Structures are given as C-alpha cells and as structure tokens.
Structure 1
Amino acid sequence: MNLKIKITIISALSISVVKAQKVDVKKAISAAAKQTEVLIKNVDSARLANPKQVSPRTVEKGQFKMVGSKDWTSGFFPAELWYFYQYTKDKKWRDLAKKYTEDIKKEQYNKGTHDLGFMIYCPFGNGYRLTSDTAYRGVIVQAAKSLSTRFNKTAGVIRSWDHNGDKWQFPVIIDNMMNLELLFEATKLTGDSAFYKIAVSHANTTIKNHFRPDFSSYHVVDYDPETGDVRKKNTAQGYADESAWARGQAWALYGYTMCYRETKNNAYLAQADGIAGFILNNKITPADGVPYWDYNDPKIPNVSRDASAAAITASALYELAKYSSNGKKYKAAADKILYSLSTKYTSKLGDNYGFILEHSTGHRPANSEVDVPINYADYYYLEALLRRR
C-alpha cells in the first residue's frame, strides 16, 4: 500500500473513532432517569409484597431480585437517586433519595460486614454532601466506628468475610479498598485520626500483599490474625487464583485513586498509575474498552463481559486524570468506555425492570449473576457520567 494512502486511512479511522467516542452526557443521563423511573415502580410493587426487601439488585433468569438492607449492594439504589438530584436539582429526586436512603440507616450499627462503605457511605455520603443534613453525618460516623471494629492491628487490615471459616482465618478482599473512603470521611467529620490511620494501614498492607509485579491483583489474601503473616492468596470470584478478575482490577484502581485524593501520598498515585496501565494496556480487552469478566479466562472471547468493571474503571479514570501525568490518556480511555456503555450496553426503555446497564458479571464461578444488569454497574455509570460532565 502507498504510504501516503495508508496514513490517510489511519487518520480517517482515528478521526471517526474520536467522533464516535464523544459522550452525550445530557442524553445519557436523561435516558437513565427515564429508565430509573420504571425501576422505582417495580421497586415499590415488590416492597408491597415484601417490605423487608428494600433495594433492587439484579435481574436473574428473568426474575426481578430485591435485597434487604443487610445485602452489600443495598446502598447503590438510593445513591443513584442522589446522583439524579445532583444533576437535575429536582426536588422529586431529592425526596425519592431521602425515602430510600432511610431504609439502609440501621446498617450503621452492623459490625458483621466490611461493606459499610458501599452500604452507608454511597447513599448517606452523597446525601450529606448534597443536603448538609446533620442526621446523615451521624450515620456516617457511626458506620465508620462499626467498620473499625473489624480492623486487626497485628495484620494491619480490616477483615472482609466472616463466612467459610474452613477456608480462611482472616480474609481480606481487594473490594475492601472501596470502603476506606468512609473512614477518611469520618476523620474529616470528627477530627479523630484513628479512622484515617486504619484506612492508611489497610491501603499500605494491601499494596504489599495483594498485587503481582504487573499490578494485577489477587481477590483474597488470607492473614494469620495472631502473627499478621500471609497464609495464602486466592481469586475466589475470578477464573483461577493466578488470574486477573476484571472487577477486582477496577476496585483496586478506584480505591488507590481515592486514597491518593484523601492523603496525597505519592505511593498511592503510583499504585493507581500501575493498575491503570495493566487495565489499559491489556491486549485481551476488546476494542470498546469493556472487559471480559476475567482477563485470563481461556474461553475468551466466548465468555461474558463485565459492564460493572467498565463503569467503575471509567469513573476512576476521570478522577485519576486530574492527578496523573497520564491525564489525557486516562480521560480518552474513560471517554471510550463511557461511550461504549452509553450506546451499546444500556437497556431499552422499560426492559430489565428498569436497570440501566446490561451485561455485567457478578460471580461467574458460582454461576451467579452472569451477563445481567446489576445495581452497582448503574451507580458507577452515573458517577462516571457526572464526572465526565
């Protein structure tokens, strides 16, 4: 091929890709809002049948699935409503957000889970940020106190799971990085540095033990609570122990970006840059930027994608772009992912009971929530759209 012609073709392709990746935030949020109005109607109908089921989680095998406030995903739905209020300033969304946020309130006292950042900080943190309601402030602080009870000073980390005692003594999952934001906020609200110190200890220990040289992450690291030694490393929700589970990489990216924001510790920025490099330079990732559920599944491309991992990654990249020397690259990558999600991974209006995104993967090894809509995908998708704006 003539070099001049080849360059012209490549340039034309590049231009078309750039044009195609311009995200129409207004259109995307408007469509998401209409879809969420459908979801709210289905939530209210389901709650009439079973008032203990307070939040929509997924659609699996055609069935609409609600969960109680103790479920780790319970806070995402009311948190989404706060994002609609943030965007529209419409009292309707504020009142809905307040209504459904209240259902999660009692979990501030729950010491049996590490997921209080998701459950409490997503709805109450956004609610407090947007309304300055002092009642929300108190819930955030109490939740941080509850979460702090799971910290082991010898190991330097917060315990994740209490189940499967036959497998693990003191398991810590990479997802737990996301719950540290609750602790950082509690220190800001109270002036008590104890919360901050726990978060930093957990982040530092996780850098030391969770990551491989290429910045991919194990899902679970099990500690000896008496000595603090690492007992074993697993990837429970991924393809294999040594594989890179896509949502785990997204949690790690988001978590260390947030840790840098809260501490300005350059070690966290370097970690976030390294994780971003693993995600963005991975040749396994399809052209649209939405990853397969695990980077090492040998059945690729004949396996499910994970739109939730893509949404978390896009949101994280928009923030990381503000801090990193790779900012332009990160923003362009986030734009590509968000364009793909907003044009190819959204439900048609009225489909999927009102969930916004399709094609997420929850726990494939357990054949649970495979290629489905799921609430945390929707939450981080909306967050990414707001950050893009």
Structure 2
Amino acid sequence: MNLLKGTFVACLCAATLIGCDSKKKEAPVSSQAAEEIINTDHVLDLSVTKVKTALASLKESDSFPRNITPGQKDWNLVGVRDWCSGFWPGVLWYAYEHSKDPQIKAGAERFTAPLKEIAYTPADNHDIGFMVYCSYGNGYRLTGNEEYKKIMLAAADTLATLYNPKVGTILSWPEQVHKLGYNTIIDNMMNLELLFWAAKNGGDKKLYDIAVSHANKSMQNLVRPDYSIYHVSLYDEETGEFKKGITHQGYADESMWARGQGWGIYGFAMSYRETNKPEYLETAVKLADHFLERLPEDGIPYWDFDDPNIPNAPKDASAASLAACGLLELSDQLKDQELKDKYINAAITLMDRLESDMYFSADTNQALLLHSIGHFPNGSEIDVPIIYADYYFMEALLRLKKGKYNLAQH
C-alpha cells in the first residue's frame, strides 16, 4: 500500500533527510502544491473511517484511547486525568473537520465534555495544554462554542499556577519533585500555546509573560550546544539556579531522544509564531536541521538516535508524525522560500513513510499508526500504537491539505 504518492517523495533526494548525494538539490515544493503531490484526501478518508469505527465501539465518554497491546485490536483506555486524555477528542475533531460528519462531531463533543474538570481543579502536571487545547481548542476553533472558550481560559489560569517566578519556568512534574527536584521538560513547550492563546483572547496578559519566560529558560537550558535536546532541566527551587540537564525517557542523559527533538522543533516554531522573537525561529531551524541530519536512511527516527542497538533499536512513529507537524509549522514561519521548501519536503517524506504498509495500521487494529514508543527505559509502551501518534498524523495531513493550519489563526 502506498496511499501517498511516494514515488515523487522518494526522488526528492534531500541530502539531510535520506542520505542522497549531497550535491543534488531537493525538488522544491510549495505548501499549495503539497495537495497535488500527496493524496491527502484519500489518506484522511481512510483515517476518518477507522476513527469512526473506533468511536462506535467506545461507550464511556470519560475513558479515552491511549495505546493498543500487541496482538490486540482495540484501544486500551485511560481516565480524564491521564496526560493523553485530550488526544482522542482532538483526533475526533480533526476527523470531523475533514469529513463534516455529524456523528463524529457528536462524538467529539461527548469525549471533550469530561475534560472540563481539568480546568477547574488544582494542577497536578503541565499537561493541561495537551489535555485541554487539543480537545477544547480544536472544538472552539471549529464550532465557536463560547463555553469552550471559557473553559480554555480557566485551564490557562490553572496551568499558570505551576509557574515559579524564581526559576522562570512552569513546573512539569510536581509528583517527581521529591525524586528529581524542580523540573521542567521539553514537552512543556507545547503547552505554552494555551497560555499564548489565552493572553490574546481575554485572559490575563501575564500569561504571555509566563510563556515567554518559560521558552527563554527552555532555550537556555534544554537546548544543547549541538542543538539536540535534553528531556529535563533541573533547578534549585529556591534560588532558580540551573543544576543540570537529563534525558529521563531517552537512552542516556546526553543522548538525543527523538520525541523530545520533535517537541522542541514544534514548540519553538510555535513560540516564534506567537512572539516574533527571532531567537525562537533560529532555535527551531537548528533543531530541525539537526533532526534531519541524523535521520536514518529509511527516514523514520529510532526512538533515541544514540541507542547503541541501532540498527536493531525500535523506531518511533510518534516522533515522526510530531516532527512532520513541527516542520510544517516551521515552514509557515519562514520567509525564505528555499528554506520553506526544505522543511515542507522533509515533512512530506516523513508522512510518505508513515502511510506505508510498515507504519499505517490498515486492518491491524483500531489505531492509525503502528510502532510508537512511550517510555522505553521504563519498559512502557514499547513498539505499540499510541494515541498522540495518530493525533499528529491527522494534524499533519490537514496541514498539508490546507497549506497552513494552526489554532492561532482563529
């Protein structure tokens, strides 16, 4: 199966992407031309059909798909307060956006509603952005429901309670303070979008300042000199002093964890979109280039680029779909057409790999994508479908279809 027109993508020969002759120049592709190159409608149609089938099997609106056990077909479910709870309603909203199917819309509304409690209860982690912005954010963008807006504003205020002005960042894992100390993780860059949105949609303007402070500190302490990413930065909670960087979910503290690199590309590109601060754009570009330079020949990242078991280490489809979205976000922010084309081409190539028989689930199970990695060092979610891989796969398809796609425009 080759749902996208992989023959075109395979000949792009971007030297930084798939190891082609560095003297050959990749074929430029504008975002407007992407739909002509990739049959996104066909892939989205297939994805919507699968999503709708899964939706029909889910009876409890406060139980959300997260992963699928090897050998099984159906999603394993988690509760409202799981950090992944917002991705399933987000997938439904994306499916509705493409299909305009009222049954899918009703399902999106049904699975979004239980997440309201996240906005009005004390924050116990930084993932409020993932939980609320992916669900209520997409719902508000597509429906204009004012109740959704109120909930998002309340959620932004709740997220902001984790901000420590002495450190200048949002505390990511309160439950890990006893073990790690004050911690901030690269994933948290994605949750800043909720704060940026709230600050310009009726929320406290200080939310913008919190987001900028957090991005600045993350840029300073999570981005290494070679533009790979630490997963976690640790601080003295009282003095704000940076202590060290570690890579909690990667192979080693100094290794390059693939999903973390994706969070960084997307997070800093989004932060530039919201602030016009050139240092964020420069950081996103260098993070993206380092990611592309280190991709293996088949174009899909290993879970960690420094796993000594490569080439026998597992791949991570979630890192690939996330990176594709980040690369498209980055291309949207650039003025230089050659650079824009470079990142669009790279995203198309990642998506072409993901829609192949190797990664697209087809009839294997309820998920869209196979072969993702959750927490490898902990032995958790190894080489299984994971819901956030599907979420970013759908987002990337819609971005390619529309040319430019982000919540901030609405």
Structures share fold, TM-score greater than 0.5: yes
| 2:175 aligned counterpart, secondary structure | coil
What residue is the counterpart of 2:391 in the other structure?
379
Q: Is the 8 A contact 2:177 2:183 kept in 1?
A: no
| Contact persistence 1:288–1:336 (CA under 8 A) | no
Q: Percent identity?
A: 44
Unaligned ranges ≥5, structure 2: 1-7, 15-25, 28-33, 402-410
Aligned residue runs from structure 1 range 205-224, under 5 A: 205-224=217-236
Q: Supply the AA of the counterpart residue of 1:288.
A: D
Deviations 1:287-322 (A, max 9, x none): 332100001001001011010000011011112112
2:342 corresponds to: 329
Count of aligned positions: 367
Q: Distance in 2 between matches of 1:102 and 1:191?
A: 21
Q: Which residue of 1 aligns with 2:42?
A: 27
Distance 2:125 2:178 in 1: 18
Alignment correspondent of 2:197: 185
* Preserved contact between residue 153 and residue 203 of structure 2 (Cα < 8 Å): no
Does the CA contact (< 8 Å) of 1:237 and 1:245 recur in 2? yes
Match in the other structure for 2:11: 14
- Stretch moving more, 109-118 or 252-261: 109-118
Return the structure number with greater helix share. 1
Of residues 65, 71, 82 in structure 2, which corresponds to 1:56? 65
Q: Which residue of 1 aligns with 2:319?
A: 309
What's the counterpart of residue 4 of structure 1?
none
CA contact (8 A) 1:314 1:384 kept: yes
Select which of 177, 182, 194 maps to 1:170.
Answer: 182
Which letter does structure 2 place at the counterpart of 1:340?
A: R
- Equivalent position of 1:96 in the other structure: 107
Post-superposition offset of 1:15: 6.9
Instruction: Give the CA deviation at 1:234.
Output: 1.0
Q: Which amino acid aligns with 1:115?
A: D
**1:140, 1:14 → 2: CA distance?**
44
Distance 2:235 2:272 in 1: 25
2:53 to 34, 38, 41: 38
Q: Does 1:150 align with 2:165?
A: no
Q: Where does residue 290 of structure 2 map in the other structure?
A: 278
Amino acid at match of 1:299: N
- For 1:180 and 1:24, the matched residues in 2 are separated by 32
Amino acid at match of 1:221: S
Amino acid in structure 2 at the alignment position of 1:296: D
Is 1:347–2:344 an aligned residue pair?
no
Q: Which amino acid in the other structure matches residue 30 of structure 1?
A: D
Equivalent in the alignment of 1:77: 88
Residues 165, 318 of structure 1: alpha-carbon distance in 2 compared, 3 angstrom cutoff: closer
Query: After alignment, is 252-261 or 313-322 more displaced?
Result: 313-322
> Counterpart amino acid of 2:53?
V
Change (3 A) 1:56 1:191: closer
Q: TM-score, normalised by structure 1?
A: 0.90
Cα distance in 2 for residues equivalent to 1:133 and 1:315: 26
> 2:129 maps to what in 1?
117
Contact residue 318 and residue 330 of structure 1 kept, 8 A: yes
Query: Aligned with 2:243: secondary structure?
Result: strand
Q: Deviations over 1:330-382 (max 9, x none)?
A: 00000000111112311123x22x11100100111011101100100000000
Would you say the 8 A contact 2:372–2:386 is kept in 1? yes
> Does the residue aligned with 2:187 lie in a helix, a strand or coil?
helix
How far did residue 91 of structure 1 move?
Answer: 2.0
- Cα distance in 1 for partners of 2:40, 2:264 equals 26
Cα distance between partner residues in 2 of 1:15 and 1:106? 47
